[in-house]
């Protein structure tokens, strides 16, 4: 398979965390 570098893993993790935070924030505004 294709190797994933540490930098790519960090970037993906940051994107996921940003997405989760955005989702939580939007959910909080909705209710």
Q: What is the pLDDT of residue 17?
A: 97
Question: What pLDDT, in 10s, does the model give residues 1-31?
Answer: 889 899 999 999 999 999 999 998 888 876 6
What does the radius of gyration of the chain's CA atoms come to, in whole angstroms?
14
* Residue linked to tokens 């294709």: 2
Sign of CA dihedral 6, 8, 22, 27: negative
Note the pLDDT of residue 10: 98
What would the two tokens of residue 8 be? Answer: 């790519």
């Amino acid at each position: 398979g294709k190797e994933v570098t540490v930098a790519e893993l960090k970037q993906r993790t940051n994107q996921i965390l940003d997405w989760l935070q955005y989702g939580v924030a939007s959910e909080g505004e909705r209710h």
